[in-house]
Amino acid sequence: MTVPAVGVYSVRMNDLLRISTRMVLAAALAAGPAAPALALDTSLQYVLTLTGDVERSQVRYECEGREELLVVEYVNAAPNYLAILAVEDEPLVFASVISGSGVRYASGFYVWWTSGAEASLFDLRADDPDTAEFTCLEFNDIP
């Protein structure tokens, strides 16, 4: 199966966003100054068509300073290795990047670094970006 190139998708998505933005602005102008402020709820779904071996797993972590377990979903389909986890209650998609040891994933200003059963979250905006925001251990509920 042929998957469209990322560049083609980006152009179409940009065109769609421009059209949507124009429609919202036109509606706001037509409503006039007496209309209440428009709240724009946006979402995006991107479907990856994967071929070959795909491994999908959920790992639960006990993290220092957190009462609830942190659930991370991993999707491994070479050459794409992803981790999906919530940071400050927002789900973020992390992609694997070069690492000296373990597996390092990045999403915006955040880095999720796993090595064996241990994982740490780093915020690159922090005063000391080399110090983890929190460290976790895989949760094993098997007695």
* Main-chain phi, psi angles of 30, to 5 degrees: -70, -30
Is the pLDDT at 75 greater than 80, yes or no? yes
pLDDT at 94 (0 to 100) = 98
Angle at CA 115, nearest 5°, toward 117 and 111?
Answer: 115
Fold of the domain spanning 55-138: Lipocalin (2.40.128)
pLDDT at 128 (0 to 100) = 96
Enumerate the CATH 2.40.128.200 domain ranges in the chain, comma separated: 55-138
Flag whether the pTM goes above 0.95.
Answer: no
Lowest mean pLDDT of 35-39, 51-55, 88-92, name the range. 35-39
pLDDT at 43 (0 to 100) = 76
pLDDT at 131 (0 to 100) = 95
Confidence of residue 47 (pLDDT cuts 50, 70, 90): confident
- Top mean pLDDT of 2-11, 15-24, 127-136 is at 127-136
For residue 111, what are its two tokens? 């880095």
Share of the chain above pLDDT 70, in %: 71
Average pLDDT taken over every residue of the chain:
79
Angle at CA 107, nearest 5°, toward 103 and 108?
Answer: 140
Beta strands in the chain (DSSP E): 55-63, 70-77, 80-87, 90-97, 103-107, 110-115, 118-123, 134-138
pLDDT tens-place string over residues 95-115: 999 988 899 999 999 999 999
pLDDT at 39 (0 to 100) = 60
pLDDT at 40 (0 to 100) = 67
